[in-house]
Amino acid sequence: MQNVARFHKFHPHTTIIPMKNILFILFTLSALALLSSCSGRNARDLYTDGRAAEDSGKFTVALEKYEEVVREYPSEAVAETAAYKIVLIRSNTPGDKGEAIGSQMRFLELFPNSQEAPKVMFMLAFLYNNELGQTDSAKKYYEQFLASYPGHELAPSAKFELETLGSEPEEILGDDAGAVAAEKKPGSGGQR
């Protein structure tokens, strides 16, 4: 007690917190940290839940789980796989292709060195060309693909797409394409 009185004599505006209060505060903070880490799901669990939902055809739930992995755990290895799953689901789902493009661009921004980046860039260009008819954007991404991945297995397809950009299938395939299409129409009489 004598030391406390002497301390206050030289430091009158300082409050001394008793040791038992400090220990209580430290214990409480430690307990809160432990509880928050135990109650939360980790990236692998969320990804597994997403896979299960995707496998059972619940694509909305799968997207939610994959999005949570990418948003909450971007540095985890599984985040790249989750982001690629988002790209695949959005690219293959009928409807708003803007969401597909957004997921592809986001993937390329977050994981530019990914093994899947060439496929995602090709999908992006292909979607612009074949789904949206935006040949300027398609050309930009096909050219970027070829510049970045000239030896990739999709490079010949990217070159072909660039050469035929904006062409109708009949123009690419020639006169036989129109005849084959006419033969397959009901009532055309030319069934093979």
Position with higher pLDDT, 33 vs 157: 157
d(CA 54, CA 123): 20
Question: Residue 183: what pLDDT?
Answer: 57
Question: Residue 18: what pLDDT?
Answer: 62
Question: Residue 128: what pLDDT?
Answer: 95
Q: Is the dihedral of CA 66, 128, 98, 58 positive or negative?
A: negative
Cα first-last separation, the chain: 106
Question: What domains sit in the chain, N to C, each tagged with a CATH number?
Answer: 41-113 (1.25.40.10), 115-192 (no CATH)
Looking at the whole model, is its pTM more than 0.85?
no
Residue 120's nearest CA partner among 136, 133, 134, 103 is 103
What is the rounded average pLDDT of the residues 48-74?
A: 96
Residue 80's nearest CA partner among 106, 45, 42 is 106
Mean pLDDT of the chain: 82
What is the rounded average pLDDT of the residues 30-44?
A: 57
- Residue-wise pLDDT for 138-152, tens only, equals 999 999 999 999 999
149: helix, coil or strand? coil
pLDDT over threshold 70, residue 27: no
Least confident of 14-18, 51-55, 77-81, 154-158: 14-18
